[in-house]
Amino acid sequence: MQGNVRPESMERITTKALADAFIDEQVKEVREQVGDKKVLLALSGGVDSSVVAALLIKAIGKQLVCVHVNHGLMRKGESEQVIEVFGKALDANLIYVDATDRFLDLLKDVAEPEKKRKIIGGEFIKVFDEESAKLEGISFLAQGTIYPDILESDGVKAHHNVGGLPEDMEMELVEPVKLLYKDEVRVVGEALGLPHAMVYRQPFPGPGLGVRCLGAITRDRLHALREADAILREEFDKCGLAEKVWQYFIAVPDFKSVGVRDSKRYEGWPAIIRAVNTTDAMTATIEEIPYAVLHKITDRITHEVEGINRVLLDLTPKPIGTIEWE
């Protein structure tokens, strides 16, 4: 499957049989392309990079080197899942880098959203570059490019450069899912045996919780956000909303209000629930959440999460509000 144009004759991958045929074809092509050389992959834990990792492990095993950088802004349990699935279950050649302190120290007192994004993106490249420099004999760079990336970039342009990897990294690209749409990538992921929760993971911004811990990030507020977000995801899973809603998350702003806990005055942050549906991320509608579910989420967050004393619901569609707050 060479080139960057999807053949009109290419059938949409909707079944396990079609996915298995695609996997067999890609395994053969990757082996021909790579030979006995090594391949490097930045493994975020997102759907696309996870499916590429599983596919390449099937094709070339330990010749694939996966680098997972935990920037301290992941959702609860995500880095642990990457280690469990790839490091243990699939026995991948996995390098795990916990760079939490490095990122959070750089972000201290930085409130401006774009500045936060630049610091997170720039530092991620530095960490990935440092790790790749320690490795020898890497000839290929694997990427989770999918077909919409190619369509949106007018052919083959900057999307090939994940987050702006250094130009002097002279590696040939390996992009086994570049002609697939997101729904097809998920079918292939399931056929490869990846956990359902990983394959159907909702979209997550590169800066992670950095753009949902609004304003200057503090460790205590980031912890509260991570715990509240985990409760929201757990309750959405239980009531069947998880796969109905395109994106749902908590944002925690940098201000407090007064509340009452154990008959005493208690100052805490508000947790803001955002749940939206969209087909293209250009516009978004609000998902209606049953009040019984909202009451359960509110009760759990306000009782289980230290530092949060209110739960709010964002009812703003896009436009007028963007999907993320920052």
**pLDDT at residue 162 in the model:** 44
Q: How far apart are alpha carbons 124 and 51 in whole angstroms?
A: 21
Q: Does 243 reside within a domain?
A: yes
| Domain region containing 78 | 16-199
220 in the same domain as 162 = no
Q: Does 11 reside within a domain?
A: no
67 in the same domain as 103 = yes
Query: Domain containing 103 — which CATH number?
Result: 3.40.50.620
DSSP string, 190-258: HHTT--HHHHTPPP--TTGGGGTB-SS--HHHHHHHHHHHHHHHHHHHHHT-TTT-SEEEEEB-S--EE
**pLDDT at residue 158 in the model:** 40
**pLDDT at residue 4 in the model:** 80
Note the pTM of the prediction, 2 decimals: 0.86
Q: Does 286 reside within a domain?
A: yes
Rg (CA), the chain: 21
The secondary structure element, H or E, covering residue 131 is: helix 113-133
Q: Does 242 reside within a domain?
A: yes
Residue 85 in tokens: 């699935």
240 in the same domain as 271 = yes
257 within 8 A of 267, measured Cβ to Cβ:
yes
61 in the same domain as 187 = yes
69 within 8 A of 45, measured Cβ to Cβ:
no
> Rounded to an integer, what is the distance from CA 261 to the centroid of its chain?
35
- The percent helix, strand, coil of the chain (3-state, each to 5) is 45, 20, 40
Q: Does 107 reside within a domain?
A: yes
The number of folded domains in the chain is 2
Q: How far apart are alpha carbons 314 and 250 in whole angstroms?
A: 10
The secondary structure element, H or E, covering residue 142 is: strand 138-142
Amino acid at 209: L
Alpha helices, H only, 246-319: 291-304
79 in the same domain as 35 = yes
51 in the same domain as 129 = yes
**Of 199, 231, 263, at which residue does a domain stop?**
199
> HSE on the CB side for 130, CA within 13 Å?
11
289 within 8 A of 248, measured Cβ to Cβ:
no
pLDDT in tens, the chain (326 residues): 557 888 888 899 999 999 999 999 999 999 999 999 999 999 998 899 999 999 999 999 999 999 999 999 999 999 999 999 999 999 999 999 999 999 999 999 999 999 999 999 999 999 998 998 899 889 999 999 998 888 876 543 343 444 445 555 568 999 999 999 999 999 999 999 999 989 988 888 889 999 999 999 999 999 999 999 999 999 999 999 998 999 999 999 999 999 998 888 999 999 999 999 988 778 999 999 999 999 999 999 999 999 999 999 999 999 999 999 99
236 in the same domain as 142 = no
**pLDDT at residue 153 in the model:** 66
**pLDDT at residue 167 in the model:** 55
Q: How far apart are alpha carbons 40 and 213 in whole angstroms?
A: 31
138 in the same domain as 232 = no
257 in the same domain as 137 = no
Q: How far apart are alpha carbons 326 and 321 in whole angstroms?
A: 10
155 in the same domain as 221 = no
277 within 8 A of 285, measured Cβ to Cβ:
yes
240 in the same domain as 194 = no
Q: Does 319 reside within a domain?
A: no
Query: Domain containing 236 — which CATH number?
Result: 3.30.300.10
Q: How far apart are alpha carbons 94 and 92 in whole angstroms?
A: 5
Do β-strands 247-251 and 264-277 pair in parallel, antiparallel, or remain unpaired? antiparallel
Q: Which long-range contacts (CB under 8 A, 24 or more apart) does 294-300 make?
A: 296/235, 297/231, 297/232, 297/235, 297/273, 300/231, 300/235
Q: How many CB atoms lie within 10 A of CB 133?
A: 11
178 in the same domain as 100 = yes
